[in-house]
Amino acid sequence: MSKVRVITLSGKEKKKKGAKIALGIIGVIVLVLFIFKLIPPGKVMENNPFIKEEGALPMIAAHRGGGISNPENTLLAFRKAVNEYGIAICETDLWMTSDGHLVYSHDGTVNRMACPEGADTVTIAEHTLAELRTYNMGFNFKDPSSGEYIYRNATEEEQQTLGLKILEFHELLEEFYGTNKDLKFIVEIKNDGETGFKAAEIIDRTLTERFPDYKNNLVVGTFHPAIEKDLAENHPTLLRGASTSGAAKFVITQMFGVNLFDKADFACLQIPMKYTFKGIPLDLTWRTYISRAHRRNIAVQYWTINDADDMRFLIEKGADAIMTDDPLLLKQVLEEYK
């Protein structure tokens, strides 16, 4: 009868074998990730007007028209930003009135801008356009130099002339359409549900029928998943900004360089310089994020930057646009580079 020889491995040999298996698995993972990284990502669009030209400085995006220098979201602020500060992008927010007009405002009420302290809440959704236009949107604005409420006592006529009344969506486009066809816009739909769907319809129809040259110069954003879905499905010709989840997915996939999992379909990536995710601080200013976004023809825009050193830092990084409440300061910083 033949004997079966049993070979046992020593502890040292077992460790060596285990190490080889582990290294083999790691090697396969690295190879797969390398292949994923080599796969060229598809372009979101052929020509993106929100990407700055090679070697150019970042575009100035006036956040709410530039609320430090002038009453935010007013025609006065946007006129100053475009005609005096030379901005490239108007950034603002949209709410629907009770009678179906789309107006510019960051808040869902006009109190912060237009009402004395202690006044009853004036909600945009519960008032008509005519009712909202009885308010002076520069009422609570303080002059940055004197600290005085310089528009508080403006007459009705002065408010109209200066551009201190709440502004309807088409009016801002109309103001610059004849003189500045290269001007760009970032707008955010604040309403959710059916009202938000109607807002998207107004934006699309207004651009198509009245301001076709601005159709590719305006990007729409929203924090509401249902509105984002509606924009993608029912208004595919509108340029879209990244949603919160869309921006997060892009950052994560690009952090590991796995292009295969990058499903971004937005024109602009609008992000802060830093973000904390589940207690983990993330630096979003890596140059690789910008370069990888550009491979997809996605513009990278940082918000809301009001510090000169931060502005200089983002200029060096190659940001496409810097959103700021102080476009005059950013203009001065850019002049240093020019």
**How far is 132 from 122, CA to CA, in rounded Å?**
8
Is residue 13's pLDDT more than 60?
Answer: yes
Residue 55, phi-psi category: left (phi > 0), alpha (psi -120 to 50), beta (remainder): left
Residue 261, pLDDT score: 58
| Comparison of pLDDT for 135 and 43, the residue scoring more | 135
pLDDT of 53-65, one tens digit each?
999 999 999 999 9
| Comparison of pLDDT for 200 and 2, the residue scoring more | 200
pLDDT of 84-120, one tens digit each?
999 999 999 999 999 999 999 999 999 999 999 999 9
Residue 253, pLDDT score: 78
Residue 258, pLDDT score: 61
Average pLDDT across the chain, whole number:
90
Q: What is the DSSP letter of 267?
A: S
Q: State the pLDDT confidence band at 193, using cuts at 50, 70 and 90.
A: very high
* pTM for the model: 0.86
Name the β-bridge partners of 268: 241, 299
Least confident piece of the model among 162-166, 173-177, 225-229, 272-276: 272-276
| Percentage, residues of the chain above pLDDT 70 | 87
**How far is 267 from 221, CA to CA, in rounded Å?**
10
Is residue 325's pLDDT more than 90?
Answer: yes
Domains belonging to the chain, first-starting first, are 59-96+169-240+303-337 (3.20.20.190)
What letter represents residue 176's amino acid? F
The whole-number average pLDDT for the span 128-147 is 97
CA 208 to chain centre: 22
